[in-house]
Structure 1
């Protein structure tokens, strides 16, 4: 007897499941990995991403992944781990994507041979834990170093990060600046207290560090040039208040019977604004900043009384000024007390390139620093900002963790060797999976060698031979991307905080296991257009690249592409 057909899902719903779906997801992730693979290392290539009128040139993994606009549901996980790595430690974004992709590539062979995905995931998690434990044992703790030695360490870590960036030719200049900026901060090392400002024009070496708060001069009215531009130990008032004559609100209605009534209304408005300005001057404040506009009347009033003012200051700059100077943001100017006013050692306004900047130096509150970047093209300055962000994050993490490991793929090769030996003590299928994990770790030195134009196979064989000796003096051998060949990365000062590697290994393993656990994808129709036959590969076809980036066969980008060319 035939069983009746049961319609469970909405008509037009597409469902893909089983082994083919897992392999399809792995293939989609491999496309993402292939895009960013060439950006790894000091000899890595840059990506030019053109979107509308915006042009971005970068080799930062997290930036590339974000600008690709990946819409494939499984491949989006690779974007997420790159973003998480960037927010957590600031560097290693390309490495974490490469490692996750290589783990999936190794897992694909097992899946095709019929091994259950959960067995593979269990083996990967076991190998990850063993690798992290080994990393804890061999990392170099620098807590007993002197202050000068620690500073030298931090500069080497910053230089290693900047090696692969567009500003690598100025790595000594910028690494010193980054370390000075981070060392200026308080013990909590709040990254928000380091400002990065960009001024196009001039040479890269014209960039400067201000130990305090600096921001670009805001829009100002006539009378601003008559105000003093330098103070020593001024009182600073921060406002969230408008200081200008405002038009009446919409739909306001005032009934008057004589011209004298109208004049009384005008006089009341002027009386209110003058009362506010008098309260500010009587408070003793010499520098007045407001998030909201300060009009031409107030500007001239302050100029006549030797008070500096700036309106429409960005909220982030106000917040940094508040914490650095000790001032409290006020929403009224009545009953101002001395404790709500901040101060600094020196305030001045200077010309930097074509812009004027307000500088607050020698602040008594929370320590702050501002790096003002100079350079030619806007794209260069933007990439320099991203590079210094990574370096700042790395220096902060190095200070907090006090532990480093050798870069250049050295730590990956040492962990790979250890896992191969460990796998021989395991029986069953897990031995194969852990051995595959060890092989996947070699993708980092392999990519470094390939991107440097070196023979990757030859270098990997040399590194395996060195690490096979299992001696302390050989465990830090890695790829010498600049000199060509292999070198002791620790002796060559190619150092990275161990936290970067820990986070990358853990994130890549979790991402790989998550993708392997997905055996079915259900796509619900979102509109009638989805139910129409679309040209090209079907819903189970390979990932497509359209205007929106990488996508499955039925995505918004495909419909947009079809609509544009349908004419």
Structure 2
């Protein structure tokens, strides 16, 4: 009788981990509990909810967004409903209860199919077939990379998440864009559009400071105190006058620009924005030129940048400062839209991967087919090669070849296809001739990946095959683990890795 295999614990002790069908049903049940809570508030004759928070504050309302915001929801999946209610409220201002109810009811209808082991991706395709994010973003991603300079520095690609709207509302700006900074009185009087402006970027605080707060001052006369106050005003006005004399029409600063400076600039038709995040400010400088100034005492013309057009525009519920036609270094910015923060974050991660692939393709113009076609080709070659070798190595090389089939097999499983049937077709096709057939995700079958434009840089395949092989060999070379008692703060004991 074989000994019982030990159970390996990979995550920290106390970590809750669930997956598979049970996790899906748990997510659906949690969302249904939320919809059951607010369903009676719908419509003009809907009932109110009396909400009491932890501090005893009482709120009586039938507004869906308010109720969802006051509910202390801890289930991660159910919090998605909070996000879509919040984005609906920010984008439209109404329909917050309806969006939660419909989402919950869609999940309720999908639950029987999940319980019958229908793959989740099959259900998703039935509920959301017409629009494909790939079709929407493919040209946008290529355009973004082509907008960059020849060095293809992806740090010049910005991504801003703006909850609300739909994925199709995402925009690609050929320049730099960032959210409007906190504004003081007088900001609305400033011009919001310039053609070919001179742009000054500062690391200077432009606020009236009471220097008496920073020093111990002793005076004998009231007139001496007035001199101190006048000196404080003179300091700030001298700074502002020097900025105006520089000819700058757009003034950006990493530090605050107060209400006095904001009104001063407004009276002189100058736009200003303070508290700009350092990342956005550095990207702006790289794009428009100039240099970050920590003093205004000697502002030379070469310290100022420029662009073809600056304007402040409304994007969803936010105002954005946008610089286009930047001469120094080309840049672009994605303004990502979507119903929930988690969804937008996932879109951002997917876009990053897509951008990197396009970048690598331009840098290394050797392409191979994706969709598991390359892995099936290498697998066939290794199987053929193994037959020419005698001894145990023949079996090991054949095993390596079988391992590569995990890529097309997992593609099928994740898409809800019959992986056995698809793999049999691929083995037959690749065994007959050299080809680039792989898994056809769109039509549940196989197709020529080159003709379907499913391409990948060969660098990606070469690198991951080398890294995976080296990692496997490293693990196989370890035959013992020796751990000191109490190794790792809060970690498990020496034998906690096995049960």
TM bracket (short chain): 0.7 to 0.9
CA–CA distance in structure 2, aligned partners of residues 359 and 169 of structure 1:
28
Relative to structure 2, which stretch is displaced further, 332-341 or 443-452?
Answer: 443-452
CA distances 1:267-323 after superposition (whole Å, capped 9, x unpaired) = 111111110000000000000001111111111110111000000101111111101
Unpaired runs of at least 5, structure 1? 1-19, 30-34, 39-44, 58-164, 543-567
Alignment of 1:140-151 (within 5 A): none
Q: Could you tell me which residue of structure 2 aligns to residue 446 of structure 1?
A: 409
Alignment of 1:513-532 (within 5 A): 513-526=473-486
Alignment of 1:531-546 (within 5 A): 538-542=495-499
Pair 1:484 & 2:444 matched? yes
Report the CA distance between 1:37 and its aligned residue. 11
Q: Could you tell me which residue of structure 1 aligns to residue 50 of structure 2?
A: none
Q: Could you tell me which residue of structure 2 aligns to residue 501 of structure 1?
A: 461
RMSD in angstroms over aligned alpha carbons?
Answer: 3.3
Segments of 4+ moved more than 4 angstroms = 23-29, 35-38, 52-57, 165-168, 247-251, 527-532
Residue 366 to residue 249, structure 1, CA distance change in 2 (3 Å)? farther
Report the CA distance between 1:248 and its aligned residue. 4.6
CA distances 1:431-488 after superposition (whole Å, capped 9, x unpaired) = 32222111110111111122222222222222112111233xxx21112222122221
Q: Decide whether the 8 Å contact of 2:161 with 2:335 is kept in 1.
A: yes
CA–CA distance in structure 1, aligned partners of residues 18 and 432 of structure 2:
33
Q: Give 2:155's match in structure 1, choosing from 192, 198, 201.
A: 192
Report the CA distance between 1:497 and its aligned residue. 1.9
Q: Could you tell me which residue of structure 1 aligns to residue 242 of structure 2?
A: 279
Q: Decide whether the 8 Å contact of 2:9 with 2:497 is kept in 1.
A: no
CA–CA distance in structure 2, aligned partners of residues 26 and 433 of structure 1:
26
Q: Could you tell me which residue of structure 2 aligns to residue 312 of structure 1?
A: 275
Report the CA distance between 1:54 and its aligned residue. 9.4
Q: Decide whether the 8 Å contact of 2:7 with 2:498 is kept in 1.
A: no
CA–CA distance in structure 1, aligned partners of residues 175 and 478 of structure 2:
50
| Secondary structure of 2:451's aligned partner | coil
| Secondary structure of 2:482's aligned partner | strand
CA–CA distance in structure 1, aligned partners of residues 214 and 244 of structure 2:
35
Q: Could you tell me which residue of structure 1 aligns to residue 321 of structure 2?
A: 358
| Secondary structure of 2:467's aligned partner | helix
Report the CA distance between 1:539 and its aligned residue. 2.5
Residue 207 to residue 498, structure 1, CA distance change in 2 (3 Å)? same
Q: Decide whether the 8 Å contact of 1:55 with 1:379 is kept in 2.
A: no
Q: Could you tell me which residue of structure 1 aligns to residue 58 of structure 2?
A: none
Pair 1:397 & 2:357 matched? no
Q: Could you tell me which residue of structure 2 aligns to residue 334 of structure 1?
A: 297
CA distances 1:324-359 after superposition (whole Å, capped 9, x unpaired) = 111210000011111110001111111111100111
Q: Give 1:322's match in structure 2, choosing from 264, 274, 285.
A: 285
CA distances 1:355-400 after superposition (whole Å, capped 9, x unpaired) = 0011111111100011111222222222221121111111111111
| Secondary structure of 2:376's aligned partner | helix
CA–CA distance in structure 1, aligned partners of residues 243 and 74 of structure 2:
45
| Alignment TM-score, normalising by the size of structure 1 | 0.64
Q: Could you tell me which residue of structure 2 aligns to residue 221 of structure 1?
A: 184
Q: Decide whether the 8 Å contact of 1:167 with 1:387 is kept in 2.
A: no
Q: Which has the higher contact order (CA 8 A, sep 6+)?
A: 1
CA distances 1:383-426 after superposition (whole Å, capped 9, x unpaired) = 22112111111111111111221111110010011111222333
Q: Decide whether the 8 Å contact of 2:383 with 2:397 is kept in 1.
A: yes
Unpaired runs of at least 5, structure 2? 12-16, 31-72, 79-127
Report the CA distance between 1:506 and its aligned residue. 1.7
Q: Decide whether the 8 Å contact of 1:347 with 1:360 is kept in 2.
A: yes
